[in-house]
A and B are shown apart, each in its own frame.
Chain A
Amino acid sequence: SYELTQPPSVSVSPGQTARITCSGDAWPKRYAFWYQQKPGQAPVLVIYKDSERPSGIPERFSGSSSGTTVTLTISGVQAEDEADYYCQSADSIGLFHVVFGGGTKLTVL
């Protein structure tokens, strides 16, 4: 089973760039997916297949991959971006099994 490791927290000031990493042996074999979760709400997909953005997700959200690390980048961070962010991949057991990273709390100072 793959393990995905995220930093527990990242802090940035409004207008700056936030980078949230996710390391693990799932990459580069699997695609990476990212979810945003605000308090009391269900997660929302913000990046799929490493770097694709679903419709309705602002252009300031982007994703990239390099070796065994994938990165979610939020350019020009806004106060509304403060949330928990989770990376996800398909597991080694099977393509339809899923593994999540532990989550990163993004704080907008």
Chain B
Amino acid sequence: QVQLVQSGAEVKKPGASVKVSCKASGYTFSSYYMHWVRQAPGQGLEWMGIINPSGGSTSYAQKLQGRITLTRDASTSTFYMDLSSLTSDDTAVYYCARKNSGDESTYMDVWGKGTTVTVSS
């Protein structure tokens, strides 16, 4: 079955960077884009960006431009989300979520379980 397995919880200091991984299995890695979404404690969902596994092209939320980098490693079927210059506002659960097939719309049909990132001095 389709699975997205994310890396474990992280605790970081303000100003540091964090890298979260998302290992995909159960489907053809190169056929589906991957979204990243985060959720601060008690808050709603916030879209962060998307990556094309074929070629690695990316598109980011304007709010995070300059701080976020999405990459992928096709040899291990793994996606990565790198966020730099962390502040307490980046404390959240970070999800990878597979984009649906096709180009006429975009939504998330399979989600990882989430990775908790805590930013604290």
Contacts and interface: CB of A to CB of B under 8 A. Distances in A.
Q: Decide if A and B are genuine partners.
A: yes
A44 B111 contact: yes
Given A31-B105, A90-B105, A100 B44 contact: yes
Given A94-B59, A96-B50, A103-B44, A42 B107 contact: no
Interface stretch (B7-15, B66-74, B83-91, B95-103): B95-103
Contacts of B108: 35, 43, 45, 88
A49 to B, nearest CB: 6
Given A42-B112, A42-B113, A100 B47 contact: yes
Contacts of A30: 105
Interface residues of B, number: 26
- Scoring B59, B108, B112 by chain A CB atoms within 10 A of each residue's CB, the highest score goes to B108
Main secondary structure of the interface of A (DSSP, over half): loop
A33 B37 CA distance: 15
A90 B111 CA distance: 18
Contact of B105 (A1, A42, A49): A49
Contacts of A99: 47
The size bracket of the interface on A is: 20 to 34
Given A95-B103, A96-B50, A97-B61, A86 B111 contact: no
Interface of B: 33, 35, 37, 44-47, 50, 59, 61-62, 95, 97, 99-100, 103-109, 111-114
Interface of A: 1, 30-31, 33, 35, 37, 41-45, 48-49, 54, 86, 88, 90, 93-103
Given A48-B109, A97-B61, 13 more contacts: A30-B105, A33-B105, A33-B107, A42-B97, A42-B114, A43-B97, A88-B45, A95-B103, A96-B99, A97-B47, A97-B106, A100-B44, A100-B47
List the 3 closest pairs (A to B, CB-CB), nearest first: A42-B111, A98-B47, A33-B107
